[in-house]
Amino acid sequence: MQIYLPIAELPVNIFLVLAMGLAIGFISGMFGIGGGFLMTPLLIFIGIAPAVAVASVASHIAASSCSGALNYWRRNAVDLALALMLLAGGILGTAVGVWLFTMLRALGQLDLTIGVSYVVLLTSVGALMINESVRAIVRQQQGLVAAPRRGGTHTWVHGLPLKMRFKRSKIYVSAIPVWLIGFVIGFVGAIMGIGGGFLLVPMLIYFLRVPTATVIGTSMVLTLITMASATVMHAATNQLVDAVLALILMIGGVVGAQFGTRAGQNMRGERLRLLLGLLVLAVGLRFAYQLVIQPEDLYSIRMLGGA
């Protein structure tokens, strides 16, 4: 069944879009990521203008992370204080990212920067996650108890001033690395047009030692806030949010996220991280392939607006 999208100005198959929302929603609920880095290329692939895709995906991510966040909230698995501290850094990071975005566009180097940063970021994060999780799995199979997280294990991160206690996550860390992580996520999000959940989750685990129990719920709350505000900003500035497309994606997304959340909780943490690592690496390699192999069509056209 075809439905005409009022802002994207083309008809799409409603079941195809619903299925895409469902699949990405499942992944999003399972790993606690937004899934924008998967959904945006998919929408562009079915013919939706990139700007409309990015703007509409923001509201889809807001819906599925809201559904997921509520699930975690009921289980007391959200650290709201941590999410708000991350957000504080995130706002500054977004501002700097938007500034750099404008400057790179003026220099005509934006496409290259985005392409290369996708590849570098996705492949390196994916490889790091795979490496870490495989080691954890091997350690477990050898019967060794994975080094338990003791109160006494300190890294250089714990030596920083401005310490804060995050009760829900049972961590006592400096606010500086929290802000810094928020800043990086906001910065990367503004330049690459992604929510950054796939970056946030490993960063919280490795740098701040946030326990697996609260890390996904917290990441989802942050994603919900940033993506809901991104929706409003995109709609107010560019009028590019397609509410019909967003609604179809959302319905698929929230249902998928529910099943994904359950699937994720029945799985061991390191297995989950291995899967996410493989997924991120695969997408990164896909982007790398696209950059290195000569494209079939060297030319592309894009409408700028009425004259």
Partner 1 sequence: MRRLAIALAAAAALAAGTLQASAERLITSISRHQVLVSSNFTGTSIVLFGTIEPDTPTARRRAATYNLVAVVSGPKQTTVTRRKERVLGIWTNADSRTFVGVPSYLAVLANRAIPDIASADLLRRLQIGFDNTVLPQQIGADVGDVARDDPFRANFIRLKRQQGLYMEVTNGVTFLTPTVFRAGIPLPAGTPVGNYDVTVRVFADGNQLAQANSAFEVVKVGFEQFIAGAAHDYGLLYGIATAIMAIFTGWLASVMFRKD
Task: Choose the binding region for partner 1 from 55-63, 150-158, 174-182, 266-274 (rule: CB under 8 A).
Answer: 55-63
By CB under 8 A, is residue 44 in contact with partner 1?
no
By CB under 8 A, is residue 46 in contact with partner 1?
no
Alpha helices of 142-268 — where are they, by DSSP H?
175-192, 197-208, 212-238, 243-265
For helices 14-31 and 36-45, what crossing angle results, to 10°? 160
> Which residues are CB-contacts of 274 (< 8 A; sequence separation ≥ 6)?
129, 130, 133, 134, 137
The CA–CA distances, whole Å, from 72 to 167, 200, 220 equal 16, 17, 9
What minimum distance in Å lies between the beta carbon of 99 and partner 1?
22
For residue 100, with 0-12 CB atoms within 10 Å meaning exposed, 13-18 middle and 19 or more buried, which class applies? middle
Q: Using CB under 8 A, which of 33, 66, 200, 210 touches partner 1?
A: 66
Tell me, residue by residue from 273 to 292, as one string, x for binding to partner 1 by CB under 8 A and - for no binding.
-----------------xxx
Residues in a beta bridge with 171 = 166
Task: Choose the binding region for partner 1 from 58-66, 89-97, 187-195, 197-205 (rule: CB under 8 A).
Answer: 58-66
Q: Using CB under 8 A, which of 33, 257, 272, 283 touches partner 1?
A: 257
By CB under 8 A, is residue 226 in contact with partner 1?
no
Q: Using CB under 8 A, which of 136, 210, 216, 246 touches partner 1?
A: 246
143 to 202, contacts with partner 1 by CB under 8 A?
none
Token pair 């895409």 is found at 20
Asked whether the CA dihedral 219, 163, 181, 125 is positive or negative, the reply is negative
- Is the separation of the CB atoms in 31 and 198 below 8 Å? yes
By CB under 8 A, is residue 39 in contact with partner 1?
no
The token duo for 13 is 């198959």
> Judged by CB, which is closer to partner 1: 208, or 254?
254
* Single-letter amino acid, residue 40: T
By CB under 8 A, is residue 134 in contact with partner 1?
no
Q: Using CB under 8 A, which of 88, 92, 96, 116 touches partner 1?
A: 116
By CB under 8 A, is residue 218 in contact with partner 1?
no
* Cα–Cα dist 212/224, whole Å: 19
Task: Choose the binding region for partner 1 from 37-45, 93-101, 154-162, 294-302 (rule: CB under 8 A).
Answer: 294-302
By CB under 8 A, is residue 222 in contact with partner 1?
no
Task: Choose the binding region for partner 1 from 37-45, 91-99, 169-177, 236-244 (rule: CB under 8 A).
Answer: 236-244
82 to 111, contacts with partner 1 by CB under 8 A?
111
Helix (H) or strand (E) holding 99: helix 80-107
> Which residues are CB-contacts of 248 (< 8 A; sequence separation ≥ 6)?
3, 14, 17, 18, 21
> Judged by CB, which is closer to partner 1: 46, or 134?
46
Furthest-apart CA atoms within the chain: distance in Å: 69
Interface ranges with partner 1 (CB under 8 A): 2-4, 6-7, 9-11, 47, 59-60, 62-71, 74, 111-112, 115-116, 224, 227-229, 231-237, 239, 241, 243-244, 246-247, 250-251, 254-255, 257-258, 290-295, 297-307
